A and B are shown apart, each in its own frame.
Chain A
Amino acid sequence: MLVIPSAYYLGIFIAKTFNEEIFPDDIKSKACLLFESIENPIYKLCGINKSQEMTAKEYFFTIFYTNILLCIFSFLVLYFQTSLPFKGNINFQLDIPIILHMLSSQITNTCQTHHIPEQHLTPLSNYFIMPLLMFYSSASGIATGIVFMRALIYGKIGNSYVDVIKAMTRILFPLSIISSIVFVSLGTPNTFTSSITYETLEKVKETLLLGPIASFEAIKLIGENGLSCLNANSAHPFESPSYLSNFIQVFCILLIPTSLLIVLGIYLKNIKQSITIISVLYIVLIFEILLISFFELKGNVEINNIIGLDAPNWIGKETRFGIAGASIFTALVSNVSGSANSSFDAFNPIAIALALFNLSNQSFFGVQGFGLVFTINFIIYTAYLIGLMLGRTPEVFGKRIEKKEIILSSILILINPILVLTSVAFTLIMFPENGGSTFDHIHYYTRVFYEFASGAASNGSGLEGLDDNNAYWNLSLAIVMFVARYAAMSSMIFLGASFVNKPTMPSGVVTLKTDNFLFGTVFLFFSIISTVLTYFPFIILGPISEILAKN
């Protein structure tokens, strides 16, 4: 739980980064000057006016259009990757659906992987385009979270270019550099040699693929993207070589979401608010870990019988209590936080049910920046219901919650079920059979459900076993991811902006306290209940009936 103190300092740093005017003393600090010397040329190069205030509409569309532009550029590179330099020994022509899926997946910070990176992508695509998209999407996410808080608390929108650039130069790059150094020191290879060939003990020639894995790993985890340059993801020994590196991965994943919650407290000048929410989220996290560990360790004989493992079988007899525990831990945490680095198919259905729950809820840490907004959105929802019970027009952080806010925040909550449930229904009707490794209706349904849930939640993990690298899957998921991301982003920015012109109510006797135990408990209850009410029947039909079928 080293995360919290580190997140605290990072939180202060982020708070200062994005709202300079509230900390006037720090404007001229050395670090700040250093960053500015990097940023200013970028602003100049792009013709950005640093101090220009944007409207919510401008803010959203500037992010949206720059994302699209980046996608068009990346599309061209990927489509012509075999004709471009740095192609290594890859000679794979990508078809349009897979490229669209890849782009949609990267730019939405989902990083669902249908391709096999080390076989399908040239080093240029794999080590330049992919990280570029990962950085940019991650920064866009952070900017969304920041602009939401800034609008809600300070009543200001700000400038999207400045926010995105700052998110990259001041947060993502430095953190990625630090963590990649750590990963290298732990034994993750970081080289531009793309493969080495060696002879195994059986004298068979095998090719071992290498690359700047550590750097990739850093942005994958820091940015919560979850895209790997190797197909097996973190389960690959090169990506996470040891028990210790597993924990560092967990640390990296939780770092930014936690520190964004600290930023919330700093902006509100009420750090107790952060503590309340962080405690609730960590309690959920720990509870889920305990629950899954219990079922995993109890039922690992069965698990070995479960089909469709495409990750290395990490439950080895000798090391099962060590590595297995760590892997569960990592895998689960990644799932909670919205970054996937393990194949979930191998897990007990209970774990899958919980994972589906997390994906549907999205507020338990969730995706970079977005998770924060989902969390605050549930705070708004809870504050609305409780506020009514205080007998006054409900307020959150001193701002009244009215019709417009309720509509936008309901849209935000409804986007996920609408996209997921309709696309699941559509898929089951149109493509009732899929040639996965073994076919079972219930499990196929669970997989389809999981695939869309993870896409819509910009999570990107998958149950695999789906033959998902085909035109239908690539295109449908590309659409789901794209719509989910930008529909959510726009409603987030507009929701935040709707608070801009509202006066801040001074707190009084009859003000709802959002930073105490009572609120924390009710917040937890309502955020769980709102997800359970929508998804309970579907989780019952999927993973739970699988459990029942086995008993």
Chain B
Amino acid sequence: MVIARDKRKHTIKIDYSEVAFKAFLESIKKLSPHTLVKNPVMFLIWMCSFIGIVLSIKPNIFGPTELSQIDNLVITLILILTIFFSNMAENIAKEMGKAQTDSLRIVHGDVEVKKINDDGSIEYVFSSKLEKGDMIKVQEGDLIPLDGEIVEGIATVDESAITGESSVVLKEPGTDTSTSVTGGTRVVSDWLLIKITAEQGNTYIDQMVNIAESIERKKTPNEISLNALLIASTISFLLVVTVIPVILHYLHIKYEYIYIIALLSCLAPTTIGGLVKPITISGFDKINAFNVLALTEDAIEKAGDINVLFLDKTGTITIGSRMAIEFIPTGHNSIQTVAKSAFLASFYDHTPEGKSILNLAKRYVEDVEIKKIIGKPIEFSAHTRVSGIDLENGDILRKGASDAIKKIVQSKNGKIWENTDQLVDNIALQGGTPLLVSKNNEVIGIIHLKDIIKPIIKDKFKELNLMGIKTVMCTGDNNLTAKVIAKETGVNEFIAQAKPEEKINLIREYQSKGMIVAMSGDGTNDAPALAQADVALAMNTGTVAAKEASNMIDLDSDPTKIIEIVKICRQLLMTKGALTTFSITNDISKYFAILPSIFPISGLEVLNIMRLESSHSAIISTLIFNAILIPCATPIAISGVNYSANDPNKQLTVNLLRFGIGGLIIPFLAIKIIDLIVGRFI
């Protein structure tokens, strides 16, 4: 997938002028009321503009007025502009998102492949250009771009992306199970001629991208509660604005209907009401841009709430494979003997662990003539948990998990030296994995395999802790090994020798304490725990079962990305909170601008602290301010407020000052400036 990611940088270019144009057309279309009904605040503004239109046609329809048709029309147009801006913000966010997911769809699996033309010539094309029935040639190291059928050749294929098993599979034509290849798998050795059988846009990733796209249309739980709050405040303003004319009428104070309408549209929380949707959409986009597909809408919000993160040790905390770092002989055996036996036993072992044993052994034994190694390799199986070789000279060499080797040796009444157990424990105490090496019926030594801890993981865990997220490591290792690794990496808690049900139980326990649990995993055995977790991030290289149990899929298979996801999700809510606060505090200043204009009570000029030109220009200025606030705040909505994980409470104070106090002061300045300009024309 690295290839795909590097390609991205070159291939993604969002055409902003096209985005803007499409958004513009959509925004005009969406001015119709039935699309606005879903957004209560904007629907209210729409109703206001409707009354505005009526007043523009017949200004005195509700009673005598001093305003002309033009005056009413100007106000109505500003109201329509407000709705337009809100639509525009939503559509820009949507179009940008679409451009992004489209590119995601194209880029993933979009690699250069060797296409065989009918005349037999080879042509380099991008896999996105492939069609069903095309023939391609894949060689060692190539990614198989799409599902297909083998026509010719024999090759070993790494299918871990589909099965999760790290062993490679032999593929050849003519057999039942191994003639078909799956998109996303990789050729490990040799070559294949493949006939493409899947249609473009119908691969697994495509299906996931489709799900990710479709969920943007649903509302998230926090969006629903925020909407409830906005509706409540809209109701209260609607009430206020309905009762004001009654009282003005009673007090024999003259007033203009359109001004009352203007008051309502200024008070309604248009800034946040118009931007809720764009904020959500762009949050989803940002997650997509991180090569993560969110499959349910609440996964995104819950990600911001995560308290505990369960991580698999292998592949997350440590690099996937272990390395041999030491040979320890037992009994009278020399280190050279052990090294040589280990070398021979691992000769046909193509796993990274086996290779690391070979590398280490080469330091001790130089005299092995590779060509002379003739024997029957015994492959590793999950059942026996040993591998090795039966040499032609009769030597039987085995290496494997300590209890498995011991069992074999004991069953043959072989020799196990006294200090073996102690040495095994010692390695475990250091956080390593001991492998026993046996020659014929004797345990001759131990290979010390060590987990290689990823270099950045410690910092990542520190960052998670700063964000208030506790880390839990799940590992199949024994308690001692797990403890050492936990200490080295700074993980807060661990479960050793974890069985799937133990993981689930621990997740449940945290959930019962009200915590939100995230889990990242890739294996089929992780699937039940992933299904139990609130936020489940599956690696794209993981098994289908794991992916199906998850609500997010990481296309780059980098589990520490959860940090970025949490950041994006928190930023999403913060932006909503900030703009809501801004909208609310704004109203205070708007009251000062509008009320003196609506209530022509002598003496009320005291409230006109901005010294606005006239009633009419005050109203128009406030409405213009209200309308242009939406495009002004759209960049904030789309890019989100600044987020730093370091000090949440300091961040809160800063945001409160910026959006709370800012929300109070900015309108005063802005309305005054607009008034100075507008005043000249009226």
Contacts and interface: CB of A to CB of B under 8 A. Distances in A.
Interface of A: 384-393, 398, 401-403, 405-407, 410-411, 413-414, 417-418, 421-422, 424-425, 428-429, 432, 441-442, 445, 502-506, 508-513, 518, 522, 525-526, 529, 532-534, 536-538, 540-541, 544-545, 547-549, 551
B514 A421 contact: no
Nearest to A402: B225
A391 B301 CA distance: 9
B643 interface: yes
B602 interface: yes
A355 B660 CA distance: 27
A540 B569 contact: no
A471 to B, nearest CB: 22
Given A391-B570, A410-B232, A417-B236, A541 B599 contact: yes
A389 B655 contact: yes
Nearest to A547: B603
A549 B253 CA distance: 14
Interface stretch (B241-249, B443-451, B616-624): B241-249
Contacts of B37: none
B222 interface: yes
A136 B601 CA distance: 46
A529 B585 contact: yes
Contact of A445 (B250, B302, B304, B659): B250
A389 B468 contact: no
A302 B155 CA distance: 103
A327 B304 CA distance: 54
A513 B235 contact: no
18 contacts: A389-B574, A389-B578, A393-B222, A401-B225, A414-B236, A422-B243, A425-B242, A442-B251, A445-B247, A503-B513, A509-B465, A509-B467, A509-B648, A536-B595, A545-B601, A548-B601, A548-B602, A548-B604
A388 B280 CA distance: 13
B602 to A, nearest CB: 7
B467 A445 contact: no
Contact of A545 (B578, B604, B652): B604
Given A509-B648, A541-B599, A390 B574 contact: yes
Contacts of A421: 239-240, 243
Interface in B208-250: 221-222, 224-226, 228-229, 231-233, 235-237, 239-240, 242-244, 246-248, 250
Interface string B568-603: 011111101110110011011001000100010111
Interface string B646-675: 001101110110011000000000000000
A385 B580 CA distance: 8
B250 A388 contact: no
Contacts of B570: 390-392
B563 interface: no
Contacts of A393: 221-222, 301-302, 304-305, 573
Given A402-B225, A509-B648, 19 more contacts: A384-B225, A385-B577, A386-B656, A388-B580, A389-B577, A389-B656, A391-B304, A391-B643, A403-B224, A406-B226, A410-B231, A414-B236, A417-B239, A429-B246, A441-B250, A441-B251, A508-B468, A533-B233, A548-B601
B515 interface: yes
Which of B571, B573, B580, B602 lies at the interface centre, i.e. has the most chain A CB atoms within 10 A of its CB?
B573
B456 interface: no
B604 A503 contact: no
A537 B591 CA distance: 8
B512 interface: yes
B81 to A, nearest CB: 24
B236 A534 contact: yes
B466 interface: yes
B160 interface: no
Contact of A398 (B229, B514, B581, B655): B514
Tell me whether chain B's interface is mostly helix, strand or loop, or mixed. Answer: helix
Contact of A391 (B228, B247, B573): B573
Contacts of A510: 467-468, 648
B247 A388 contact: no
A511 B251 CA distance: 50
B10 interface: no
A422 B304 CA distance: 42
Contacts of B251: 441-442, 445, 541
A390 B222 CA distance: 13
Which of B232, B571, B655 lies at the interface centre, i.e. has the most chain A CB atoms within 10 A of its CB?
B232
B309 to A, nearest CB: 13
Interface in B540-590: 569-574, 576-578, 580-581, 584-585, 587-588
Nearest to B601: A545
Contacts of A442: 251
Interface in B440-466: 465-466
A40 B232 CA distance: 45
B342 to A, nearest CB: 48
A488 to B, nearest CB: 15
Tell me whether chain A's interface is mostly helix, strand or loop, or mixed. Answer: helix
A513 B577 contact: no
A526 B228 CA distance: 17
Contacts of B397: none
Contacts of A545: 599, 601, 603-604
A432 B250 contact: yes
B653 A518 contact: yes
Nearest to A521: B656
A-B pairs with lowest CB-CB distance, top 4: A391-B570, A388-B577, A503-B514, A548-B603
B332 interface: no
Contacts of B573: 388-393
Contact of B228 (A406, A422, A537, A541): A406
Given A388-B577, A407-B228, A503-B514, A424 B247 contact: yes
Which of A518, A533, A536, A544 lies at the interface centre, i.e. has the most chain B CB atoms within 10 A of its CB?
A533
A518 B304 contact: no
A348 to B, nearest CB: 16
B267 interface: yes
B307 interface: yes
Contacts of A403: 221, 224-225, 228
Contacts of B301: 393
B606 interface: yes
A402 B248 CA distance: 39
A384 B229 contact: yes
Contacts of B585: 529
A336 B348 CA distance: 87
B305 A537 contact: no
Interface in B480-527: 512-515
B252 interface: yes
Contacts of B243: 421-422, 424-425, 538
A292 B604 CA distance: 21
Contacts of A547: 603
A25 B237 CA distance: 52
A533 B595 contact: no
A224 to B, nearest CB: 27
A537 B631 CA distance: 29
B571 A391 contact: yes
B250 A428 contact: yes
Contacts of A392: 304-305, 570, 573
A381 to B, nearest CB: 8
Contacts of B513: 503, 506
B258 to A, nearest CB: 17
Nearest to A508: B468
A428 B228 contact: no
A389 B652 contact: yes
Contacts of B591: 533, 536-537
A505 B599 contact: no
B247 A541 contact: yes
B267 A549 contact: no
A287 to B, nearest CB: 18
B512 A503 contact: yes
A525 B587 CA distance: 13
A401 B604 CA distance: 41
